[in-house]
Structure 1
């Protein structure tokens, strides 16, 4: 009887541990982030940072959810993982700006070691037992683990020339549609890309990450999947100047 009781207790403890592990490994909900984006991002992608500051309790609640649900490739699908990291990058960028607001540019936020690291190297993101900076997430995880060039139109660096911050959270269910929409909207935005059949004046993002866009063909092949105009293969390519001013709905200090 004593051995049987001990066996029952042991099995119960194992069951509780397994249930806890499975619960922590389940994908996080992005509902709070979705509602924050709808409330504080304009149709043109500009961000009401003061609104996010006033809503800081809910933003912090979402970041807490992210910090306790690190993606797990044994339990999460690839789309669940990618949606998580895209949302995390954008949400923690908002957090970085609101913590230093008002600023004229994200680049005005100084890291610990000047001239060595950039703002994207500030390690302020804690997810379970791991610490990240924005570069870790974009280049060490998103670009490294996911063969998806459209992510460059989904991550937002809080600047005027960035692809706009979407008004909805990325979700596994709608991820392909959302990434296609982000790509098409960015290339159709004449303030960032001017595209004709014979000449394209495009964002330097395309140049910076050209290798990501040319894995399965040339650059024109990729652009023509999402461009509002069919571009000739011999079209002239010019890269525009990048505007690092903050993508704020309100003027700084206004």
Structure 2
């Protein structure tokens, strides 16, 4: 009888967790669809009417996800990162760039998913460290700067996550503004410099990029890094 009671309790917890993730993702999806246009965020509109953002950040505090459910875990933390970035910008808006906000990435803590964490720790400890082979995170985590791949106007969902990660990586690595090719010279984002180990696990940076390119970079390309653009990704 005790075993049955325990099993029922575990099933109840699992269902509750699933429902909380689904609720958060659905509301995040509606929020992104409303406030993101062409890869930019309408911070001014959110600042003027923050009710939905406040609801999302409150929901994010209550969500609990297990690493054993990899897709739900990853989808939650990707969305939570992007929502937390937006919340941090809105709290300080107007601002020209996220780096103008002291400790934005590494000092300011947020209560998310049952833990107090920084943006850097969401990226590096809760995602990259747990899934070290998943370099595509870098094309879906958006830091509020124009140097990042653009934020999309939909939430990442467990059921579509693989397709979404693939789509955003392909889009970024085929964008001539993101991967700048001039003959044998290739300029790439400083993201590849900062997280070089993520992109060279199975070869060179060029090898990684070519997995997603429609037109491959030269095998002996001369690679350099162009300066990161921290200008705020706000709707003009």
The within-5 A match list for 1:48-197 is 48-74=42-68, 77-111=69-103, 119-127=104-112, 129-146=114-131, 147-195=133-181
Change (3 A) 1:15 1:225: closer
| Contact 1:197–1:230 under 8 Å retained in 2 | no
Count the aligned residue pairs: 232
| Contact 1:195–1:229 under 8 Å retained in 2 | no
TM-score by length of 2: 0.89
Instruction: Extract unaligned runs of 5+ from structure 1.
Output: 1-6, 112-118
Partners of 1:71 and 1:53 in 2: how far apart?
A: 29
Q: What is the CA RMSD across the aligned residues, in angstroms?
A: 2.3
Deviation, structure 1 residue 129 = 4.3
Q: What residue is the counterpart of 2:21 in the other structure? A: 28
Partners of 1:160 and 1:125 in 2: how far apart?
A: 23
Change (3 A) 1:181 1:12: closer
Q: Deviations over 1:40-62 (max 9, x none)?
A: 1112x111111222442112222
Instruction: Extract unaligned runs of 5+ from structure 2.
Output: none
Partners of 2:6 and 2:223 in 1: how far apart?
A: 61
Q: Mean Cα displacement is larger for which, 23-32 or 62-71? A: 23-32
Moved over 3 A (4+): 10-20
Q: What residue is the counterpart of 1:116 in the other structure? A: none
| Contact 1:160–1:245 under 8 Å retained in 2 | yes
Deviation, structure 1 residue 103 = 0.4
SS state at 2:41 partner: coil
Partners of 2:105 and 2:116 in 1: how far apart?
A: 13
Q: Deviations over 1:89-118 (max 9, x none)?
A: 10000000000000011011113xxxxxxx
Q: What residue is the counterpart of 1:39 in the other structure? A: 34
TM-score by length of 1: 0.83
Deviation, structure 1 residue 240 = 0.6
